């Protein structure tokens, strides 16, 4: 009979020593902390760059508006026009090209859906502190199409424009706690031409059909 082959017994794998386990754990913690620090640094740098870009854009926009304002003042001087006359002329030119009619009667008021050009001033909380009359900062001018819809300002603010006349100013407190205050002045009121309104009605009927 042949000799039986003895089964090959594999030697047990060496287990990690306590020191190796501790070293791996420490290395993992250091790696996690490093990743966290790098992420924090990257996020901080990105936020800083974003703020810098926004500040530069705001400065550029301010410079552009300043130049435009200077050109407007020069044009008004040369044409011997008042601010109101200039605003009216610009509005009529733009309205004619975009299917609106400028309301020119002193009795005309802002109706729901009108186009309204307004001047906005916001309350300066810091400067107004301890003063009897609040201080307002000029925030510029804007155009609101379809007033009352809330597409430009909040609905809460746009609704205050309804019923106002050209040249009228209204101080409005708004926000959940009425914590914000603005002054709204109506400069020009425009309404859509009848044919434009009819076209919109036809489009609406076609969609509903």
Q: Where are the domains of the chain?
A: 19-80, 100-208
**Section 175-193 average pLDDT:** 86
pTM tops 0.85: no
Residue 24 clears pLDDT 90, i.e. is over it: no
Count of Cβ atoms closer than 10 Å to residue 203 Cβ: 10
The helix (run of H) or strand (run of E) holding residue 4 is none
Q: What does each C-alpha distance from 209 to 71, 116, 167, 196 come to in angstroms? A: 50, 32, 43, 20
pLDDT digits (tens, 9 = 90+) for 45-96: 888 888 888 778 878 877 887 888 888 888 888 889 888 788 888 888 888 8
Mean pLDDT, all residues of the chain: 80
* pLDDT, position 197: 54
* pLDDT, position 195: 59
CATH 3.10.20.600 assigned to 100-208? no
Q: What does each C-alpha distance from 140 to 65, 89, 187 come to in angstroms? A: 9, 19, 12
Count of Cβ atoms closer than 10 Å to residue 111 Cβ: 15
**Section 105-134 average pLDDT:** 83
Pairing verdict, β 169-174 and 136-144 = unpaired
Reported as a pLDDT band with limits 50, 70 and 90, residue 33 is confident
Pairing verdict, β 180-192 and 136-144 = unpaired
pLDDT digits (tens, 9 = 90+) for 130-159: 777 777 777 778 899 999 888 888 888 889
* pLDDT, position 162: 94
The helix (run of H) or strand (run of E) holding residue 186 is strand 180-192
């Amino acid at each position: 009979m042949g000799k039986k082959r003895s089964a090959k017994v594999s030697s047990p794998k060496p287990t990690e020593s306590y020191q190796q386990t501790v070293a791996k754990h420490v290395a993992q913690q250091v790696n996690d902390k490093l990743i966290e620090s790098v992420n924090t640094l990257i996020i901080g740098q990105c936020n800083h760059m974003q703020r810098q870009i926004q500040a530069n854009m705001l400065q550029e926009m301010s410079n552009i508006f300043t130049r435009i304002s200077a050109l407007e003042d020069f044009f008004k001087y040369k044409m011997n026009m008042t601010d109101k006359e200039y605003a009216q002329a610009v509005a009529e030119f733009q309205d004619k090209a975009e299917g609106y009619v400028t309301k020119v009667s002193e009795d005309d008021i802002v109706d729901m859906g009108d186009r309204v050009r307004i001047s906005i001033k916001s309350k300066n909380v810091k400067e107004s502190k301890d003063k009897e009359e609040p201080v307002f900062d000029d925030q510029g001018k804007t155009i609101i199409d379809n007033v009352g819809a809330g597409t430009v300002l909040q609905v809460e603010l746009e609704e205050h424009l309804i019923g106002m006349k050209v040249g009228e100013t209204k101080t409005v407190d708004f926000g959940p706690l009425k914590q914000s205050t603005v002054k709204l002045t109506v400069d020009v009121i425009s309404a859509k031409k009848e044919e434009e309104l009819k076209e919109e009605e036809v489009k609406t009927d076609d969609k509903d059909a």
